[in-house]
Amino acid sequence: MSITLSSRRTFLQATVSGGAVLPLLTSLGMATNAVAGGLVEAEGSLCLFEADAAMGADMAAGVRQIGLAYQTVTLDDAAGWSAMLDALTSARGRSLAVLGRSATVFAVRSMLEPTWRVVLEGRHSRQADSGMRHELSGLDAPMNQLSGWLNRVRDPAQYAVVLASMTRGEFSADAERKTLDLNSHAWPGSDLVSLLAWPKGVV
Amino acid sequence: MESVLPPGIKREHFAALLADLKKVVGREFVFTDPQWELPAYNDAYLTTPAELHQPSAAVAPANVEELQRVLEVARHYKAPLWTISTGKNFAYGGPAPRKAGYIVLDLKRMNRILEVNEKHGYAVVEPGVSYMDLYRHLQKIGSKLWVDCAAPGWGGVLPNMTEHGVGYTPYGDHVTMQCGMEVMLADGTLVQTGMGALPGSQTNHLYKYGLGPSVDGLFTQSNFGVVTKIGMWLMPEPPGYRPYMITFEKESDLHAITEVLRPLKVNMLIPAVAMTVEMLWEAAVQVTRRDYYTGKGPIPESVRKKMRSDLKIGAWNFYGALYGPPPMMDNTWEVVRDAFASIPGAKFYFDEDRAKDDVAWQYRKKLGAGIPNMTEYNVMNWIPNGAHIDFSPISPVTGADATKQYELIRDRCNKAGFDYCGEFAVGWRDMHHIFCLTFDRNDVKQKARANKLFGELVDAAAAAGYGEYRTHVDFMDRIAGTYNWNDSALLRMHEKVKDVVDPSGILSPGKMGIWPKSMRKGKA
């Protein structure tokens, strides 16, 4: 699949129409008919990401194009932090995909629990061989489903779209937690951390 | 993680206790799920096993009436509570309780800003109000009062004061700026301290001491009561603000910097808390260690030199600010500049001299004007999975003491394989030396080394006559044990007070080494 950052919508449409992954996306809660029509259901999720060059892409343009609701996160000013808190307040009941540098994601996570439940955390780091190492920890089921995407997305923005699409799942609260260590091709940008959080009640 | 029980409480009694708490605050605000809810009350920066601090539950009352009833339930079952407010006391334990099984008493729902008094310059806040909240409120109402905030602005105004925290403006000594306190004792009695004890008092937040013994300090870093409200003096926006930075080339300059600084501080020519920051702290907020060095052990001098050059920082970096009408600032600056210019290699910078994307400068500039931000948190990006515990001894403001403390920590730190990352914050007559011991929280061996190093530093500092002003929950007993003059007379007095004001021993047992009688010596 050859998808550029500027055609993320095409990426998802192509992915969905690929057939084999259609059940997967459906199980992740993505509104496939909306995707086919060019829109991911914006009501179900919110993407929070650090507005920083380290993300390696114009995240805002990318997620906006696919129709995801998003909020940038910054540690550097009170207005930005307050905007993030406001976004969280209005996002009650929605799933969250969070991407950013380690400190930022940790700080955001500290504001989520226990209203949200962090079902998955990923640490994505560049390796000396210019590949990418992904250390995932969390619930078994979403992790297994997500792991298949790591080599298919090209950058953090595409990964954010996939993560944000996982708005719900048939996962029980007492599901097993595990860790997974995977490699993929390199993503642009530097090391980052990601979270998938579901609102209380989903699990 | 498995669920745990409060110490000394059987499972059936615990279930009854939780049911009673739910009657008080509602089902929604009693948290018991060890997988999904209670991790919010763990300390991600522990150097010890998380099981040692695993709470059995958390309860979040919305107001003093609910708090009163929560305490009643706790007394009935003799259940230990661990009080937190915003729960952001990271590096010192975060929201985690001293021991496993405690019930976290989470006050973040008590988050009202009760008063802002523009004329007299103060605000009255509940425990859950963060610096960000207060700043936002002041902006919204068009106030000309400044907040003096901790570096990560998500911290709470009240709990930062009760933990003896400091800020970066002339109002940086938060305990000094607190005036008027409401506290609930373990028996549910609500007490107003100072002038607040007078019904209809007109001066509750204007005069600190009232009549008779001043007791506010008894409720800071303490487990004698639950502080439910405080007044904080806020600085009126000055007619001018001009922050500055002075860089120094050599590691050994710390001695001279501190000697030059002392008279300037004592004579109030530098009114704000003055910061002397070591280069790695400056670097860590904007780059990662891996950007410069991938080897093990402390970063070599050749690499440090390149970092200084790239980031336009010194081996030591001094931050201060001028406040007041421009002519006054001009005059003061001449004195400050001439004093520091006596140190060879000193370079002076104002805002216009630093780049707009200079992360370290920009956040320090904001802090000096009471504008909260979280930039300093980026220090945790320095290494993968960054975490830290802070070792914070108090020092006299002398070059000899600063150098002695710096070397005491640096040498042990390097020997243990860690980078020294620290700063000195100079207040009225003292210097807080903050050593940010940064480690990989996913590396069990590194955590063990950090824990061992921290213990060694406590002992070495105490042997040299230096005590810590604040500490992580894991080290409270050990550090309290160093304050042992006259057969630990102070600790014994604290214990006597504890036994009287909290005979059931329900409030934060073990906080700063103070244990209730039932858990004291051998039972802890």
Comparing CA positions, the residue from B367, B375, B372, B429 lying closest to residue B243 is B367
Give residue A66's pLDDT band: very low, low, confident or very high (50, 70, 90): low
State the angle between helix axes of A78-90 and B131-141 in degrees (0 to 180), rounded to the nearest 10. Answer: 100
Residue A3 has pLDDT above 60, yes or no: no
**Which of B214, B236, B258 is the endpoint of a domain?**
B236
> Is there a single domain that holds both residue B248 and residue B221?
no
In chain B, residues with a C-beta closer than 8 Å to the C-beta of A173 are 33, 35-36
CATH of the domain at B102: 3.30.43.10
**Which of B177, B206, B236 is the endpoint of a domain?**
B236
pLDDT digits (tens, 9 = 90+) for B2-13: 899 999 999 999
Q: In angstroms, rounded to a whole number, what is the distance separating the alpha carbons of residues A82 and B374? A: 11
Nearest to A78 among B371, B378, B385 (CB): B371
pLDDT digits (tens, 9 = 90+) for B88-140: 999 999 999 999 999 999 999 999 999 999 999 999 999 999 999 999 999 99
> Is there a single domain that holds both residue B49 and residue B155?
no
> Is there a single domain that holds both residue B304 and residue B427?
yes
Amino acid (1-letter code) at residue B25: V
- What residues have CB less than 8 Å from B1, skipping those under 6 apart? B34, B35, B38, B39, B50, B51, B54
Comparing CA positions, the residue from B184, B264, B182 lying closest to residue B225 is B184
pLDDT digits (tens, 9 = 90+) for B379-400: 999 999 999 999 999 999 999 9
Q: In angstroms, rounded to a whole number, what is the distance separating the alpha carbons of residues A50 and A170? A: 29
CATH of the domain at B445: 3.40.462.10
Residue B285 has pLDDT above 80, yes or no: yes
Percent of chain B exceeding pLDDT 70 equals 99
pLDDT in the model for residue A7: 37
Q: Are strands B103-106 and B57-59 parallel, antiparallel or unpaired?
A: parallel
Is B6 inside any structural domain?
Answer: no
- Average confidence (pLDDT) over B477-504: 98
Hey, what are A102's tokens? 């380690």
Instruction: Return phi, psi of residue A96, to 5°.
Output: -125, 135
Task: Search chain A and give the residue with CA nearest B378.
Answer: A103
pLDDT in the model for residue A98: 94
CATH of the domain at B191: 3.30.465.10
A191·B384 Cβ contact <8 A: yes
Hey, what are A53's tokens? 């060059």
Is B5 inside any structural domain?
Answer: no
The answer to which of A158-172, B171-185, B202-216 has the lowest mean pLDDT is A158-172
Number of domains within chain B? 4
Could you tell me where the beta strands, DSSP code E, fall in A4-56? 45-50
> Is there a single domain that holds both residue B364 and residue B277?
yes
In chain B, residues with a C-beta closer than 8 Å to the C-beta of A111 are 154
Residue A163 has pLDDT above 60, yes or no: yes
Catalytic residues of B: 92, 469-470
A75 touches chain B (CB under 8 A): yes
Nearest to B380 among A81, A102, A125 (CB): A102
> Is there a single domain that holds both residue B370 and residue B426?
yes
Hey, what are B480's tokens? 């309290």
Residue A202 has pLDDT above 90, yes or no: no
pLDDT in the model for residue B343: 98
State the angle between helix axes of B253-266 and B326-340 in degrees (0 to 180), rounded to the nearest 10. Answer: 150
CA distances from A138 to A150, A179, A191, B96 (A): 16, 7, 19, 22
> Is there a single domain that holds both residue B99 and residue B119?
no
Residue A27 has pLDDT above 50, yes or no: no
pLDDT in the model for residue B389: 97
The more confidently predicted of residues A58 and B364 is B364
The answer to whether residues A134 and A195 touch, using CB atoms and an 8 Å cutoff, is no
**Which of B208, B236, B264 is the endpoint of a domain?**
B236
pLDDT in the model for residue A56: 57
- Using alpha carbons only, give the angle B359, A82, A101 rounded to the nearest 5 degrees: 45
> Is there a single domain that holds both residue B121 and residue B98?
no
- Sequence spans of domains, chain A: 8-117+147-169+189-199
Is B4 inside any structural domain?
Answer: no
Q: Which domain holds residue B513?
A: 483-519
pLDDT in the model for residue B464: 97
> Is there a single domain that holds both residue B489 and residue B403?
no
The runs of H, that is alpha helices, within B349-481 are 359-368, 399-415, 444-463, 476-480
In chain A, residues with a C-beta closer than 8 Å to the C-beta of B292 are none
Comparing CA positions, the residue from B339, B164, B346 lying closest to residue B264 is B339
> Is there a single domain that holds both residue B301 and residue B371?
yes
B372·A78 Cβ contact <8 A: yes
Residue A1 has pLDDT above 50, yes or no: no
Give residue B76's pLDDT band: very low, low, confident or very high (50, 70, 90): very high
CA distance A19 to chain B (A): 35
CA distance B33 to chain A (A): 10
Residue A55 has pLDDT above 70, yes or no: no
